[in-house]
């Protein structure tokens, strides 16, 4: 099998400055080292990272065009003219849309929303939708999580008598010339110092700025001022789902948002937690969002219309919320079946390729594949075969699909360099969407491979695991675990620390569940229980010596909580 290769364990260097930072902040050298490895190297930034506060969020008016957008929106609010939120069909766009729909509703503003159908309309503004929105007597369209490339559709909206405000966090096009207030943290003329906001994070900032403007104008003398902290459940959900770095503003919002999510008063959130198997008394982590909540939200748009996902997140009716959540759960189960079938077919085709060992890229299409899930399939294929991958489905005369990349290969740049062969593309360095003529696939695949050969060194095609530190078993205690938990929430830009220990003697080894391995390991008289998910093929290991990479975790048995090592990778000595 092509994917049965070792990974590289990249052990990070010991950092002399960790001793100084530990003394300045009053933390352990280990925690100080982990902070520095996450580019948190000063006492002030360390304190802010370990104790994120909403009061530390930066001024939203540092974002270019925020002032123009807020002034225009305030006029619509005061005059009670209709506003339509135009969102996207993924979890980030859905939560952003829901946040602003709820916010404007509380202000008494006539509000509606529009989510395009992924398969029928595609991403961002389209002409048909703009005309439909205009016919519904809307005076202002606010885009969330899209719109930065939609110049012709914005121009059409203006010709139809509507105002447009764009809020987006995607890459600015090379020939960018805004024709309406356009808020994007990636704008080169923006003074906002953090460029990695999600779509829902940007929507939250817009709401903060609007509320501030209305407060100064005396709008809340006779009406209740919305409490925006209650929106942070949506911000946490969309931000984690969009895999933006959980640093700076995102860390602050997600840290607070996870607490709001656990105690959310939204019937839709409660119902979503229920069908996802998350208990009411459970502490919600970012993994719960990534692997349970977000996939269910995304399933609506992948297999049909995502409009009902916004209804779920905005309804006050528990019965309606329960019905939509059940439908969402059912669609997610269907999505998994479809996804697994396509992954299986893709693996079979890859293994039949005679030149696959030498290839730098994988480009596959099939007219039977469902376009709504090809992005997830591409992600899984990259994980297994570690090559930039494009998975495409046939839609009319066009091939449409998604691509995922590996570290060191900018997928968006590669597609830009081959744009003459594409009908449309967009995204970023690690993920992108693409469409092209069916007859162009052969030439595109060839040139994509040629380009990758020039830019990818063979050694870069071996997966790497970044290891934070060596940690002996005797140094692991409840205080160590407590300090590691100060780094929560984990995610992109702030990964859960991975430690190396060894050589360790395997005291016991047994298979649990379908394909997991339960181990008891010993070093210098100290033993720990370990769980190695998906490692059953390594059994039996009893009596052998191993090195392991692991996370620190906890295990609860009969009400007693103990430290457990979660094995990421292991090697026999």
pLDDT in tens, 57-77: 999 999 999 999 999 999 999
Query: What does the alpha-carbon distance between residue 390 and residue 414 come to, in Å, rounded to a whole number?
Result: 12
What tokens does 541 get? 């290991």
Q: What global pTM score does this model have?
A: 0.92
| pLDDT value of residue 100 | 98
Query: What does the alpha-carbon distance between residue 467 and residue 498 come to, in Å, rounded to a whole number?
Result: 5
Which residues pair with residue 529 across a beta bridge? 520
Task: Name the 3-class secondary structure at 362.
Answer: strand
What tokens does 155 get? 């121009």
| pLDDT value of residue 554 | 87
Length of the chain: 573
Note the CATH number of domain 55-329. Answer: 3.90.1640.30
Domain extents in the chain: 8-13+465-572, 55-329, 361-455
| pLDDT value of residue 2 | 44
| pLDDT value of residue 134 | 97
Query: What does the alpha-carbon distance between residue 117 and residue 134 come to, in Å, rounded to a whole number?
Result: 18
For 361-455, give the CATH class: alpha beta
Note the CATH number of domain 8-13+465-572. Answer: 2.40.50.460
Of 452, 285, 438, the residue nearest 362 (C-alpha): 452
| pLDDT value of residue 4 | 41
| pLDDT value of residue 397 | 84
| pLDDT value of residue 171 | 85
- Eight-state DSSP code of residue 290: I
The segments of the chain whose pLDDT lies below 50 read: 1-4
In angstroms, the first-to-last Cα distance of the chain is 24
Of 193, 168, 197, 198, the residue nearest 180 (C-alpha): 168
| Cβ atoms of 466 and 12 closer than 8 Å | yes
What tokens does 394 get? 């046939």
What tokens does 316 get? 């006050």
């Amino acid at each position: 099998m092509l994917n049965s290769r070792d990974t590289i364990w990249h052990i990070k260097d010991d950092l002399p400055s960790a001793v100084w930072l530990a003394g300045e902040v009053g933390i352990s050298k280990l925690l100080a080292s982990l902070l520095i490895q996450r580019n948190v190297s000063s006492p002030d930034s360390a304190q802010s990272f370990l104790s994120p506060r909403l009061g530390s969020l930066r001024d939203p008016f540092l974002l270019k065009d925020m002032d123009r957008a807020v002034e225009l929106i305030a006029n619509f609010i005061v005059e009670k003219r209709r506003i339509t939120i135009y969102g996207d069909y993924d979890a980030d766009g859905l939560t952003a849309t829901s946040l602003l729909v709820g916010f404007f509703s509380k202000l008494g503003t006539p509000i509606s929303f529009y989510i395009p159908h992924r398969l029928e309309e595609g991403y961002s503004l389209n002409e048909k939708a703009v005309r439909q929105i205009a016919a519904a007597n809307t005076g202002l369209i606010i885009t969330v999580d899209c719109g930065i490339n939609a110049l012709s559709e914005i121009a059409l909206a203006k010709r139809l008598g509507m105002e447009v405000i764009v809020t987006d966090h995607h890459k600015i096009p090379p020939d960018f010339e805004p024709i309406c207030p356009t808020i994007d943290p990636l704008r080169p003329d923006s003074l906002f110092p953090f460029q990695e906001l999600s779509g829902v994070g940007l929507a939250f900032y817009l709401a903060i700025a609007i509320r501030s403007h209305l407060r100064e104008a005396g709008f809340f003398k006779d009406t209740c001022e919305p409490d925006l902290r209650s929106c942070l459940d949506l911000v946490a959900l969309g931000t984690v789902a969009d895999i933006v770095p959980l640093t700076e503003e995102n860390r602050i919002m997600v840290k607070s948002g996870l607490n709001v999510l656990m105690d959310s008063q939204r019937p839709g959130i409660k119902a979503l937690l229920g069908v996802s198997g998350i208990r009411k008394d459970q502490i919600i982590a970012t993994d719960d969002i990534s692997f349970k909540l977000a996939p269910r939200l995304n399933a609506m748009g992948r297999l049909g219309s995502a409009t009902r996902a916004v209804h779920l997140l905005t309804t006050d009716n528990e019965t309606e919320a329960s019905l939509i959540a059940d439908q969402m759960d059912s669609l997610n189960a269907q999505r998994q079946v479809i996804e697994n079938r396509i992954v299986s077919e893709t693996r079979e085709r890859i293994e039949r390729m005679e030149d696959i060992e030498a290839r730098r890229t994988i480009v596959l299409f099939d007219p039977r594949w469902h376009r709504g899930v090809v992005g997830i399939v591409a992600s899984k294929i990259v994980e297994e075969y570690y090559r930039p991958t494009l998975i495409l489905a046939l839609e009319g005369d066009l091939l449409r699909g998604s691509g995922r990349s590996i570290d060191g290969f900018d997928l968006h740049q590669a597609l830009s360099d081959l744009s003459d062969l594409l009908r449309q593309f967009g995204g970023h360095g690690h993920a992108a969407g693409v469409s092209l003529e069916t007859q162009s696939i052969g030439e595109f695949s060839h040139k994509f491979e040629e380009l990758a050969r020039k830019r990818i060194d063979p050694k870069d095609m071996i997966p790497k695991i970044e290891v934070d530190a060596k940690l002996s078993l005797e140094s692991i205690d409840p205080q160590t675990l407590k300090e590691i938990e100060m780094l929560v929430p984990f995610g992109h830009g702030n990964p859960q620390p991975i430690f190396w220990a060894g050589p360790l003697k395997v005291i016991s080894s047994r298979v649990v569940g379908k394909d997991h391995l339960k181990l008891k390991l010993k070093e210098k008289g100290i033993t720990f229980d370990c769980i190695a998910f998906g490692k059953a093929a390594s059994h039996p290991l009893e009596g052998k010596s191993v090195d392991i990479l692991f996370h620190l975790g906890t295990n609860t048995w009969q009400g007693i909580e103990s430290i457990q090592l979660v094995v990421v990778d292991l090697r026999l000595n």
